[in-house]
Amino acid sequence: MFDLSWMAWTWPTALFFVVIAFFLCCMTVWEFKSPGGGPRRGILTLETTRGDRLFISLLGSAFLHLAWLGLTDQPLWIATGICVAYAGAVFRWV
């Protein structure tokens, strides 16, 4: 289908970046439909918007995946499931 050999990408890596691009597009549409992002104070006691919470969840997920790779030999899909739950918690309580 696509030749990803120019950067030695794997399909999971390409899918990761496609999903991030999809999230950013969805957040853009959401912002056009409901401007402002509904700032609120969560457990971090600082005011965050939807974009802030997306950034926090993506950054935390990156660190969780790196820790998973460094500390265990279990499949990475388990870490991805944990990160989805983490992102849900960030959007709910942060």
From first to last of its 94 residues, the chain has per-residue pLDDT tens of: 677 677 777 777 778 889 899 999 998 998 898 887 778 888 888 899 888 999 999 999 999 999 999 999 999 889 999 999 999 999 999 8
Residue 66, pLDDT score: 92
Q: What is the pLDDT of residue 45?
A: 87
| In contact, 52 and 30? CB cutoff 8 Å | no
pLDDT of residue 4: 63
Q: Specify the pLDDT at position 81.
A: 94
Distance separating the N- and C-terminal Cα atoms of the chain: 40
CA distance 62 to 68: 10
Phi-psi region of 46 (alpha: psi -120 to 50; beta: other; left: phi over 0): beta
Please tell me the pTM assigned to this model: 0.79
pLDDT at 64: 95
Structural domain total, the chain? 1
Distance (Å, whole) CA 62 – CA 53: 14
Q: Which domain range does residue 14 map to?
A: 5-93
